[in-house]
Amino acid sequence: MVIEIPKDHPRYESLVIREKIIEGMHQKIVAEAGLIAHGRGEAFDYILGEVTPPFALNQEKLAVITLLRAKNPVISVNGNVAALCSKEIVQLSQILNAPLEINLFYRKPEREIAIKDVLTKAGALQIYGIDPRNQKSIPEISHQRRIVDSRGIARSDCVFVPLEDGDRAMALRNLGKDVVAVDLNPLSRTSLAATVSITNNITRATTELVNFAKNFSKMNIQELEEEKKLLNNETLLQEALKFMSSRLEELASDQKYL
Ligand code: ATP
């Protein structure tokens, strides 16, 4: 850690996460732009109260069911994800039987290697996305992220993209793939384009997803479908926005803020 955060600091968790991102940048895992993206996420997390709200748990359940029901699920990993939750992402990959694929907006060989090392340290046995012999291009995307792995995203029917940019989420949908995204901003193009959107901090969401995945992977198809019937992505995304708006209203009428 770059600086020592006092444990009694009221926003301890948030500051520890921020330090991890900064450290990730020094280790070449996180791109400079990743810091800015993180800041945008922090602003929305502040409104959530920096805890997982009930609607997000339901979004996470729907995400796990969608990934378990997919034929070829894949987990796309970028620098921020690797810096913040590599252990949980590797666990999720093992439970869901979904390979990991490094896919970067700011593609640089040293970043790919740094991310590969972090994932390997966290227990990953196979990592797609870095072997040039298996590269395939998705014409729908105009920047470097168009390059995907022929064994991973190219042939998948469902991609878990924990932190994604809107263009790519939409391109993956246009290719007929399901997209499961984590994005604290319920208004982002990613949140709106995804088949399942999780409006939560990636650090909390991945821990909770691992727990749901452990439980749901023991269920049969019928039980999963019964659970799924109770959950609707659009309704849950609306709930996310309503939650944020009513929390702001509550805070606005709280005497201590006047
Ligand atoms: P879009 O292209 O989807 O409309 P954007 O331009 O904001 O949105 P990016 O800048 O590519 O997208 O990505 C940043 C997104 O990631 C933001 O919407 C932000 O809320 C989200 N984000 C950043 N850090 C986290 C985090 N730790 N957990 C969850 N979401 C996060």
Is 215 inside any structural domain? Answer: yes
Residue 205, domain CATH: 3.40.50.12640
In the numeric block, the tokens 């301890």 are attached to: 12
Is 22 inside any structural domain? Answer: no
- Measured by CA distance, the residue closest to atom 15 of ligand 1 is 37
Is 7 inside any structural domain? Answer: no
Q: If you measure from the C-alpha of residue 183 to the centroid of ligand 1, how many angstroms do you get, rounded to a whole number?
A: 6
Q: Which domain range does residue 181 map to?
A: 54-242
Q: Strand 135-137 to strand 147-149: parallel, antiparallel, or no bridges (unpaired)? A: antiparallel
- What's the domain count of the chain? 1
Q: Kindly state if the Cβ of 83 falls inside 6 Å of ligand 1.
A: no
DSSP string, 78-146: -HHHHHHHHHHHHHHHHHHT--EEE--SS--HHHHHHHHHHHHHTT-S-EES--GGGEEE-TT--SGGG
Is 25 inside any structural domain? Answer: no
Is 203 inside any structural domain? Answer: yes
Is 256 inside any structural domain? Answer: no
Q: Kindly state if the Cβ of 40 falls inside 6 Å of ligand 1.
A: yes
- Give this prediction's pTM: 0.94
Is 124 inside any structural domain? Answer: yes
Is 34 inside any structural domain? Answer: no
Q: Which of 165, 199, 206 to mutate to test the pocket of ligand 1 (most atoms within 8 A of CB)?
A: 165
- Give the pLDDT of the chain (258 residues) as one tens digit per residue: 556 778 888 788 889 999 999 999 999 999 999 999 999 999 999 999 999 999 999 999 999 999 999 999 999 999 999 999 999 999 999 999 999 999 887 788 899 999 999 999 999 999 999 988 998 888 777 666 788 999 999 999 999 999 878 888 898 999 999 999 999 999 999 999 999 999 999 999 999 999 999 999 999 999 999 999 999 999 999 999 999 999 999 988 887 766
22, exposed or middle or buried, with CB in 10 Å at 0-12, 13-18, 19+?
middle
